[in-house]
Amino acid sequence: MSKRFMSIWFRHLLTDWHVRRQPALQHMPFVLAAPVHGRMIITSASPAAEAQGIRTSMPLADAKAIVSSLQAFDDEPERGAQLLKALGEWCIRYTPVVGIDLPDSLILDVSGCTHLWGGERPYLKELITKLRAIGYDVRGAMADTIGTAWAVARYGKITPIIDSGEQADALMRLPPAALRLEEDILARLQKLGLYQIGSFMNMPQSVLRRRFGQPLLIRLGQALGYETEAIAPLYPVPPYEERLPCLEPIRTAPGIEIALKVLLEQLCLRLQKEGKGLRTAVLKGYRVDNRMVQTEIGTSRASHHPEHLFRLFELKIPTIEPALGIELFTLEASKVEDVASEQEVLWIGNPGLKAPAVAELLDRLAGKIGEDSIRRYLPAEHYWPERSIQQATSLEEKPATAWRTDKPRPVQLLSKPEPVEVTAPIPDYPPMLFRYKGKLHEIRKADGPERIEREWWLEKDGGEHRDYYTVEDTEGQRYWLFRSGHYSGNQSQWFIHGFFA
Amino acid sequence: MPAVKADIISQLQQDILRMQGFRSKLTDTVPDIDLGPVNTAFPNAIFPTGAVHEFLCAFREHAAAATGFVSALAGNLMQRGGACIWISVARTLFPPSLKTFGIEPDKVIFIDLQRIKDALWALEEALKCDGIAAVIAEIPEISFTQSRRLQLVVEQSKVTGFILRTSTRAASTTACVTRWKITPLSSELEDGIPGVGAPRWHVELLKVRNGRPGAWKMEWTDGKCVVIPDNATPVIVQEQQLKAG
């Protein structure tokens, strides 16, 4: 049996998507634009805009000169592929083999599927009507080859269904662009006056190869059917979800634990086979009284380790309220990532922060006390003490610069410097004594000053620079004091900022 | 057969020590922490890793000194590449300063909590995890029962724990292997040069299970804890405290 292919061309894929989201745009001229070499170039235009002469690859400024009321939206480069993928997955109800043909069409292998809809014509009509009803302006065509289906979908004027073996006739009157050719080959054909495929279709192959190269022959062959062409079909990923209906409603914590263990084992088995691990999982319990209870966990790195995941859920089990009983459990991994396969024990030598045990510990802690109470710091290139550290975003993040040890820094730093009373008779000398929390400290030894200028480009409210002194009192206790601003006799403001070891 | 009996008893004593987290010279030839003369205070003359140590620091200045000493100990433990977890209820620790004591501050995970109960839970969970070099906790108070739990955990996992008790009240008995008190001492630079020198501490080992408590003057120089010789002989503290451990 010969193969049959169907090509669906979305004439305004991206603009139709915008109209679906904002129905008000239906009859308004609008375009999507993206920056190219510093200016905004139109990447797609709505039908209303096209009617007024706006084309793609036109600068946005020119288009606005033509239509002053033109609306422009930013083009997201990945959007088209995402849309086509979603539409392709929707089309799987019509045929098991659906492929994406970027930028704006789908290829369906409909061999042996059409009779279920009562023939090719009703099949095509059904599919096109459904897509148009969703809101996409589509054209479809069916033929023996992908090439012909593609050509007829875009350029065909007579009939969308090309009977088996009639490709040559169908292509005869179409322009060469219908063969999916490169821009320069098209220009050369145009130059030679070959405006229709029919004009060169029957020329000897050696002549065509010499003049236009191999690509033209391949494309021609693919359209006519003597070159094979394959499509990369879409495989929709079934959701990572497991269900466990219970014979008797579950009302106890041990019962929930057993259900959870069963579900986790099933889910982790599948994740292991596919080399994936879950980052977030939701356990839902459907109760007898038609209510639903759920609890959620998250991991800091993808995991498919049932025991570890169970320990995370175990902390949440007390929050599940079974009431009269839970009759159905579902466990869904809402976020799944690839997981690096674990090394053998032999290699676990100096794991440090990368040790799986540490990551699992942090998951447990984050599950109970919240993620924001777990912190890790990296050096930041600032002298101002409060700004000299920054919080790391992940366990893997490496410090960009080395930690500095050239200047003395206290072990304990007060989050806010506390004012102290000092006696400092000589400018730019450390104080002789200071009073902190009612206790008088007589200073024996001191180092400094280390002047730290404020970072006016970061701070909103201006302050003074700080002159830091490391001081040691008679008991050997070491402090970090600073004077805010310049010395001004008794008016100088002194603060304590830290304690040295 | 008195000789055989003595053998058996000494063997049993060694077993008990090993179970409690003390190590013997035979099994570990290279100790993680070498404190020089201080080693004589510990059973088998090895610093007990795989145990929980507590530090009394009622005042901020003492806490700073204890932080320095603990960082120095933890820095030694982290040489093998393990991570360190720092749990605290009200943290004032300034991470860049840890670098001075031989710790890469980015290898330390800080867990800042509001409630002591949560901190103790986190401490116990962290001590259970055998991929970690040291766990340090700054908490105001710990009861005997709570410390007993921690001791049982570390006997399994062999993780070293340090507890900085910041409460000003008289310290209650705990099941920790040692009890330390670190107070700052005035630093000295060579030849009487003015200025602040390397950190110096008066290190008091108030209690140590199966060992001999003592007190030393120590200084942190060139990435090592060095005992200052003039007071090297351990001072035997009261008999009462010896028994309490």
Question: What is B52-118 written as a DSSP string?
Answer: EEEEE--SHHHHHHHHHHHHHHHHHHGGGS-EEEEEESS--B-GGGGGGGT--GGGEEEEE-S-HHH
Quote the mean pLDDT of chain B: 83
Residue B188 has pLDDT above 90, yes or no: no
Mean pLDDT of B136-140: 92
This complex has an ipTM of: 0.83
Range of the domain at B23: 2-244
| Domain assignments of chain A as residue spans, ordered by start | 1-236, 241-354, 412-499
Residues of chain A with pLDDT under 70: 1, 340-354, 462
Query: Which residue, among B67, B99, B109, would best test binding to A if mutated, counting the most A CBs under 10 Å from its CB?
Result: B109
Instruction: Choose among A395, A399, A337: nearest CA to A366.
Output: A395
CB B131 to CB A357 under 8 A? yes
What DSSP designation does A476 have? S
In this prediction, residue B122 has a pLDDT band, given cuts at 50, 70 and 90, of very high
Mean pLDDT of B166-183: 86
What distances in angstroms separate CA A205 from CA A151, A176, A217, A229, A416, one per listed residue? 21, 16, 7, 19, 84
For domain A241-354, the CATH class is alpha beta
Of the partner residues A399, A447, A474, the one whose CB lies closest to the CB of residue B106: A399
What is the number of structural domains in chain B? 1
Quote the pLDDT of residue B29.
45
With CA atoms as reference, the chain A residue closest to B118 would be A369
Determine if the peptide bond prior to A160 is cis (ω within 30°). Answer: no
CB B121 to CB A471 under 8 A? no
Smallest CA–CA distance, residue B81 to chain A, in Å, is 5
In this prediction, residue B94 has a pLDDT band, given cuts at 50, 70 and 90, of very high
Taking the CB of residue A283, how many other CB atoms lie within 10 A of it?
A: 22
For the packed helices A306-314 and A253-273, what is the interaxial angle rounded to 10 degrees? 150
Smallest CA–CA distance, residue A359 to chain B, in Å, is 10
In this prediction, residue B31 has a pLDDT band, given cuts at 50, 70 and 90, of low
Quote the pLDDT of residue A76.
83
Query: Which residue, among B85, B93, B94, B189, would best test binding to A if mutated, counting the most A CBs under 10 Å from its CB?
Result: B94
Q: What CATH number is given to the structural domain containing B153?
A: 3.40.50.300
Ranking A410-419, B12-21, B100-109, B141-150 by mean pLDDT, the lowest is: B12-21
CB B100 to CB A360 under 8 A? no
Find the radius of gyration of the CA atoms of chain A: 36
For domain A1-236, the CATH class is alpha beta
Query: Strand pairing of B132-139 and B160-165?
Result: parallel
Tokens of B182: 């670190």
Tokens of B69: 């000493």
Smallest CA–CA distance, residue B100 to chain A, in Å, is 6
3-state secondary structure (DSSP) of residue A345: helix
Instruction: Choose among A105, A57, A98: nearest CA to A81.
Output: A105
- Could you give the percent of chain B with pLDDT greater than 70? 87
Residue B233 has pLDDT above 70, yes or no: no
Does residue B223 sit at the A interface (CB-CB below 8 Å)? no
Smallest CA–CA distance, residue A500 to chain B, in Å, is 6
Quote the pLDDT of residue A340.
67
Mean pLDDT of B132-160: 90
Report how far residue B105's alpha carbon sits from residue B112's, in angstroms, rounded to the nearest whole number. 16
Question: What is A200-249 written as a DSSP string?
Answer: HHTS-HHHHHHHH-HHHHHHHHHHHTSS-----B--PPPP-EEEEEEEEE
